[in-house]
Amino acid sequence: MPVPRAAERAAALRAQLDDANYRYHVLDDPQISDAEYDALLRELIDLETADPALRTPDSPTMRVGAAPTGAFAPYPHVKPMLSLGNAFDGDELRAFDERVRKLSGRTDVAYTCELKIDGLAISLRYDGAAFTGGGTRGDGSAGEDVTENLRTIRSIPLRLRGAGVRHIDVRGEVYFRRSDFDALNARREAAGLPLFANPRNTAAGALRQLDARMTAERRLSFFAYAVGEVDADAFPTTQFELLAFLREQGFVTNPHVARAATIDDVIAYVERWSVERDTLDYEIDGVVVKVDELALQEQLGSAGKDPRWAIAYKFRAREATTRLLQIGINVGRTGTLNPFAVLEPVQIGGVTVKLASLHNEDDIRRKDIREGDVVLVRRAGDVIPEVVGPVLSERRGDLPVFALPTHCPVCGSDVDHPEGEAMARCTNATCPAQRRERVRHFCSRGAMDIEGVGDVLAFALVDHGLVDDVSDLYHLDAAKLLTLPRMGEKTVASVLANIETSKTRGLARLLFGLGIRMVGSQNAAILAGDYGSIDALAAATVEDLIRSDGIGEQIAASVALFFQQPPNRAVVERLRAAGVDLTAPKRERAPVGPLAGKSLVLTGTLPSLTREEATALIVEAGGKVTSAVSKKTSYVVAGDEAGTKLTKAQELGVAILDEGGLRSLLAAGAAESSV
DNA sequence: CCGCCTCGAGTTCT
DNA sequence: CTCGAGGCGG
């Protein structure tokens, strides 16, 4: 028999803790601190530990999580949990509205609009006022019993607050707050554990933990939005009031609900949230639209599986899960082994994604990505596909940990992977893959800009033995080119003409095109400007080279090494013999113009200028175009569909221009200089 | 020696 | 666009 005094105290503590929880989660108006809450909880745990008879199923102490159970029992839904039909644009919403009005015979139907939380649908059962169990959606008629795990979620009340309810099934969404998810990942990173890919899958995994203590640590949240079977004295008549009723009972409902008098209001709501979705602390994947009147819902009923009184508007997906079929390896022009993902094709944001970069071996290991995994794929900056990570809950059996090959997949040479470096390299400079890539790079737009020689022709030239190194491009003739597949007289003539034109591109582009390690377009321009000719540069020592701005020991050593190697010297001589311009104008005096000394960053698409044209105008005005935004950036020129650079500029307080702003800046200087 | 700034290298899809 | 890493100023 429990000691009466202790029983009283336990009951008081329970009431106090429930109340604190309700104030914190539902009212968002905490009256006691987290520390005080913890102290009360501690006291209750101690009482219950001393006398287990004091323990009740709805005690807040149950939230810390019970010990592991074997497996999940089935959880039948007396009233099935519905799935909703989808709409992807305004027209489909209008069609839905028309059907509703036609079937109901009404001229006007009001709707409630609710954010569609990207989490897991669950059902909670209350008998009397006490929480007695809950389960996942499953196939709609039965899911899994995850009662112990649900108990750990603070925003799920363990007792109803209102009177008059004898039984109720409450439906809603379990989800992960972004802030809680980020905090969890930060802790995992500190502990050296692989990071979770996204909040939704992590929430799913947490809810299916066999050990509820693990679930408790994850800090899941819950929004209630519907009711299944119910037996109560009084019940609301609209969806909007139903949400208020759920709040009165102690549930958290999403604050961004709206009542829409017409379908136009619904569409306005959808458009607003498709833009503002990123401002929320949780992820949403659409909007749920329901006929507001519950009686009308009943009347409309369902067609097959889907109710006729509700529809889910889905935002365009930004990420998706798919199977990682294989990890392939590309060999880059510098010999780097670049792993890439071969994916089961999947639609993301309107395009089919089949491939994605995987960066390097360490990255794959850190994310614990394995061949055969189901992976989460996202389009970084809404463009370039990226594998975020594996969905661990989908992993079946033992998949092998990824390891880079020790020999080049193309030529079989040894692979060099220096300690502490991210990239592994094929050690064979004459590796066919490297040769192909070097020729392609030489002909590319930023380098010698040889029109007509893209990936396909560059590879064909190397593969057919017409070109071994870049100097061979200038010793081609029509007869040789005609031996290649898909090359006719006309194409050959144009390619030869374009190769001829490229001879005058100048030293900066040539140096970049040669593909010297650590010499990209910028360093190439600096060296060309400082030395004026390839002979002067080839004669420079490391000590000479490091005097150039931005050139340190490593880059200097790389340049010097390049010109020491006989094959490279031979390439230079053959280029000279062909009449390729190996000189550059020596660096002109300090830049002048309205943008002298300014550095600008371009992002997005400008209305009437290409990126190249804008860059040329800025350079002409004495300015510099760089790729990343920092405190030193003078202006960010933002066009349509600007990406993360615009956000960064706002964060750092860097001035932002549109195309007009850029033009007036250029014009201002032109006016001055003409005076 | 650390932290910031830049640059290099590789990348997807239509 | 991303990540890695070299250069350099504090």
> Can you tell me whether residue A600 is helix, strand or coil?
strand
Residue A447 Cβ under 7 A from any strand B atom: no
Query: Is it the case that residue A569 has pLDDT exceeding 60?
Result: yes
Count of CB atoms within 10 A of residue A288's CB?
21
Query: Is it the case that residue A24 has pLDDT exceeding 80?
Result: no
Å: A104 CA to B14 C1': 45
Query: Is it the case that residue A378 has pLDDT exceeding 70?
Result: yes
Candidates A222, A130, A216; CA nearest to A172 is A222
Å: A553 CA to B1 C1': 18
Q: Which amino acid is at A218?
A: R
Q: Strands A319-331 and A599-603, how do they pair?
A: unpaired
Which nucleotide, over all strands, has the C1' atom closest to the CA of A628? B6
Quote the tokens at residue A530: 């400082």
Quote the tokens at residue A627: 């790729």
Q: Report the pLDDT value the prediction gives residue A136, as an integer from 0 to 100.
A: 94
pLDDT band at A589 (very low <50, low <70, confident <90, very high): low
**H/E element holding A43?**
helix A34-50
Span A394-398, average pLDDT: 84
In the block, which residue shows the tokens 């000279």?
A576
Q: What's A260-319 look like in SS3? A: ECCHHHHHHHHHHHHHHHHHCCCCEEEEEEEECEHHHHHHHCEECCEECCEEEEECCCCE
Torsion angle, alpha carbons of A562, A566, A572, A574, to 10 = -160
Q: What's A607-621 look like in SS3? A: CCCCHHHHHHHHHHC
In the block, which residue shows the tokens 């702003």?
A661
Q: Report the pLDDT value the prediction gives residue A1, as an integer from 0 to 100.
A: 47
Are A359 and A380 in contact, with CB atoms under 8 Å apart?
no
Candidates A173, A123, A163, A166; CA nearest to A145 is A123
Are A140 and A84 in contact, with CB atoms under 8 Å apart?
no
Query: Is it the case that residue A268 has pLDDT exceeding 90?
Result: yes
Q: Which nucleotides of C are covered by protein (CB under 7 A)?
A: 1-8
Residues touching nucleic chain C (CB < 7 Å): A 359-360, 362-363, 380-381, 383-384, 386, 420-423, 518, 546, 549-556, 603, 627-628, 643-645
pLDDT band at A673 (very low <50, low <70, confident <90, very high): very low
Å: A523 CA to B6 C1': 11
Q: Report the pLDDT value the prediction gives residue A64, as an integer from 0 to 100.
A: 65
Quote the tokens at residue A437: 């890539």
CB hemisphere CA count around A288 (13 angstroms): 24
Count of CB atoms within 10 A of residue A57's CB?
12
- Quickly list H helices, A304-395: 361-367
Q: Report the pLDDT value the prediction gives residue A65, as an integer from 0 to 100.
A: 66
Distance CA A129, CA A166 (A): 7
Q: Report the pLDDT value the prediction gives residue A650, as an integer from 0 to 100.
A: 78
Quote the tokens at residue A350: 């309107």
Cα distances (angstroms) measured from residue A556 to each of A516, A523, A547, A559: 11, 11, 9, 5
Quote the tokens at residue A248: 């009165």
Distance CA A165, CA A149 (A): 24
Please give the radius of gyration of chain A, using alpha carbons only, rounded to the nearest integer: 33
Instruction: Name the region of A379 (left: φ>0; alpha: ψ -120 to 50; beta: rest).
Output: beta
In tens, the pLDDT along A172-206 reads 999 999 888 888 888 887 777 777 878 888 898 88
- A116 catalytically annotated: yes
Å: A331 CA to B12 C1': 17
In tens, the pLDDT along A9-23 reads 888 888 888 888 777
In tens, the pLDDT along A28-75 reads 777 777 767 777 777 887 888 788 787 777 777 777 666 556 678 999
Which nucleotide, over all strands, has the C1' atom closest to the CA of A630? B5
Whether pTM exceeds 0.85:
no
Candidates A58, A57, A250, A59; CA nearest to A162 is A250
Q: How many helices (H) and strands (E) does chain A have?
A: 24, 24
pLDDT band at A486 (very low <50, low <70, confident <90, very high): confident
Span A231-254, average pLDDT: 96
Residue A357 Cβ under 7 A from any strand B atom: yes
Q: Which amino acid is at A537?
A: L
Quote the tokens at residue A533: 């000719």
Q: Report the pLDDT value the prediction gives residue A672, as an integer from 0 to 100.
A: 47
Residue A383 Cβ under 7 A from any strand B atom: yes
Å: A359 CA to C3 C1': 8
> Can you tell me whether residue A442 is helix, strand or coil?
helix
**Residue A106 C-alpha from the chain's centroid:** 44
Q: Give the active site residue among A116, A290, A367, A624.
A: A116
- Percent of chain A residues topping a pLDDT of 90: 52
Count of CB atoms within 10 A of residue A74's CB?
11
